[in-house]
Amino acid sequence: MKYQCTRDSSVTVTASQAIVQGIAKNGGLFVPETLPAYTLADLTAMNGQSYFDRAAKVVSDFLPEFTPEEIEECVQGAYGGGKFSGGHPAPVVAVKDGDCAMNILELWHGPTCAFKDMALQLLPHLLTHSLRKTKCEKTAVILVATSGDTGKAALEGFKDVKGTEMLVFYPENGVSPMQKRQMNTQEGSNVSVCAIEGNFDDAQTGVKKLFVDPAINEKLHANGMLFSSANSINWGRLLPQIVYYVSAYSDLMERGAIQPGDPINVVVPTGNFGNILAGYYASKMGLPVNKFICASNSNNVLTDFLKTGEYNRNRDFHATISPSMDILISSNLERLLYDVTGHDCKKVAGWMQELSEKGCYKVDDETFQKISAVFDAGFCSDEDTKKTIRQVYDNAGYLCDTHTAVAVKVYEDYVARTGDKTPTVIDSTASPYKFASSVLSAVDDQYDDKMDEFDKVERLSKLTGTEVPAPIAGLKEKPVRFQNVCEKEQMGDVLLRLLGLA
Quote the CA–CA distance of 493 and 414 in Å, as a whole number: 47
- Residue 444: phi, psi to the nearest 5? -110, 115
Amino acid found at 278? A
What stretches of 299-366 adopt beta strand conformation (E)?
310-312, 360-362
Q: How is residue 466 annotated by DSSP? A: P
Bridge-based pairing of strands 2-5 and 30-32 is antiparallel
Bridge-based pairing of strands 191-197 and 225-229 is unpaired
Residues marked active site are found at 116
Quote the CA–CA distance of 410 and 381 in Å, as a whole number: 10
Is residue 318 a contact partner of residue 292, using CB atoms and an 8 Å limit?
no
- Burial group, residue 145, by CB count within 10 angstroms (0-12, 13-18, 19+): buried
Question: Looking at beta carbons, which pairs linking 40-47 to residues 24 or more positions away fall under 8 Å?
Answer: 40/260, 40/261, 40/286, 42/286, 43/246, 43/249, 43/250, 43/253, 43/260, 43/286, 43/287, 44/250, 44/253, 44/260, 46/246, 46/247, 46/250, 47/250, 47/253, 47/254
SS (H, E, C) 171-218: ECCCCCHHHHHHHHCCCCCCEEEEEEECCHHHHHHHHHHHHCCHHHHH
Name residue 169's beta-bridge partners: 145, 194
Is residue 15 a contact partner of residue 64, using CB atoms and an 8 Å limit?
yes
Residue closest to 83 by CA, chosen among 49, 125, 28: 125
- The DSSP secondary structure of 59-86, one letter per residue, reads HHHH-TTS-HHHHHHHHHHHH-TT-STT
Amino acid found at 416? A
